[in-house]
Amino acid sequence: MRPLRAVSLAAATTALLASGSAFADARVGATVGVRGGYSTNPYSATVNDTGAATVTGSFSPRIVLASPTGSTQIDGDITHSEFSQRYSGATNYSVGISSTQQFTPTVSLQGGAGYSSQFRNALFANLNPNIPPVGPDDPIIVDPTAGATLGRRIESLNGNLGLTYMLSPRDTLSLYAQGSQVDFGELTSGVNSYDTIAGGFSYMRTLNARTSLGLGVNLSRSNYHNETIGDGRQLSPSVIFDTRLSPRLALHLSVGATFSDTDIDLTGGSVKRTSFSGSASLCNQGDRSNLCVEASRSVAPTALSGISTVTSLGANYRYTLSARDSFTLRAGYSSSQRIYGIFTDKYDYGTAAASYSRKFNERLSGTVSISYSDAYSSIISREPNFWGTVGVSYRLGDI
């Protein structure tokens, strides 16, 4: 099945799940915002005198449907940026739907689908298109090749389905399937669009009130649109460990290996590799603060280095100063390296941001922020970007 069909299937299934909420409680809202600031190098150019003042407006609607069996959420976002000089305006937009339904006490089904179109620049974190968007308090996972694809419009589709079945009070089986398609626009040497399809299962056994141990297996296939070289298949078994170190501190570990088989020529030749893969996250939820740190290593397709090992780090920290004031820190770093061929192309990209927000009333808020991004390894040596902004946002509706 082509990943685009998998996305369509996920969207149709999610819509079917959502139909059960059609007569349930519905909440509708949106956030409208505008901010102005200055960016030192919005497209990470190599020339001097690259700075420009910026104005960015955004509109982010949301619909939440609740029913006796679950909930469905539909999100959208349109963001437009203008520059005082040198650069043309850029518009990013996205839409996504997700649904969770508990059909019986032992069976639940989750589904989701999303689409995004982003004109890449250094103002916003360029997320890894293979990983669906995360929640506001989750670490961000960036695309390691982002620095070399600035100035391109990236379109991505993704869909996923998951079934969770409680075999017993201590045993849980989860099945899942997902697909994605990433398009980097017009054909350019070295930059390739691709799609992936994956599926697998995990089995978890509850050892005690705090700890669970299990096994997981993931199968995936990657396909490049404009050539067969680089297409690949991956098998990833893993051991999974979840525990609560304290009532507020949770640890997740997944340790395993990825066995990859990648096409390297037009005659059917391929190269087989075994690579370490795994992930770890540590999250602490306090009364006034929330900290989550995540690290992962996987084998996945990239725009410039083909099938690669991708190492990612992400962190998110939020602290509530008072009922009106909060402070947030976010950072992400990813590195990719080709696992086949003579040239082991390597790319790195990192970003960090700090923001302070104040609620003036229930609907009106103000934010001051500064962000940083840089491509450490790229085709072209680029200068980093710093972006400082001051903005306001207004919440509409009942969300």
Residues 210-220: pLDDT tens digits?
A: 999 999 999 99
Convert the pLDDT of each residue in 237-253 to its tens digit. 999 999 999 999 999 99
Geometric angle at alpha carbon 30, from 4 and 371, rounded to 5°: 80
- Give the Å distances, CA to CA, from 144 to 48, 195, 258, 372: 25, 17, 19, 15
Which band of pLDDT confidence, cut at 50, 70 and 90, is reported for residue 1? very low
d(CA 310, CA 263): 19
d(CA 54, CA 56): 7
303: CB partners within 8 A, 6+ apart: 143, 145, 148, 149, 182, 184, 191, 192, 193, 194
Convert the pLDDT of each residue in 360-369 to its tens digit. 999 999 999 9
Question: What is the model's pTM?
Answer: 0.87
Contact 150, 43 (CB under 8 A): yes
Contact 157, 115 (CB under 8 A): yes
Q: Which pLDDT value is given to residue 2?
A: 46
d(CA 197, CA 7): 10
DSSP H helix total and E strand total for the chain: 1, 18
Q: Is the pLDDT of residue 236 over 50?
A: yes
Domains observed in the chain: 3-397 (2.40.160)
d(CA 314, CA 129): 15
Q: How many CA atoms lie within 13 A of 223 on its CB side?
A: 13
Phi-psi region of 397 (alpha: psi -120 to 50; beta: other; left: phi over 0): left
| Helical (H) or strand (E) element with 13 | helix 3-19
Q: In the numeric block, which tokens belong to residue 111?
A: 């589904």
**Interstrand relation of 270-285 and 249-263 (parallel, antiparallel or unpaired):** antiparallel
User: Smallest Cα–Cα separation from 196: which of 1, 334, 13?
Assistant: 1
Give percent above pLDDT 70 in the chain: 89
Contact 39, 386 (CB under 8 A): yes
Convert the pLDDT of each residue in 79-105 to its tens digit. 999 999 889 999 999 999 999 999 999
* Residue in this structure with the two tokens 């519905």, named with its chain if needed: 26
Contact 78, 58 (CB under 8 A): yes
Convert the pLDDT of each residue in 304-357 to its tens digit. 878 899 999 999 999 999 999 999 999 999 999 888 766 667 889 999 999 999
Q: In the numeric block, which tokens belong to residue 268?
A: 């059917």
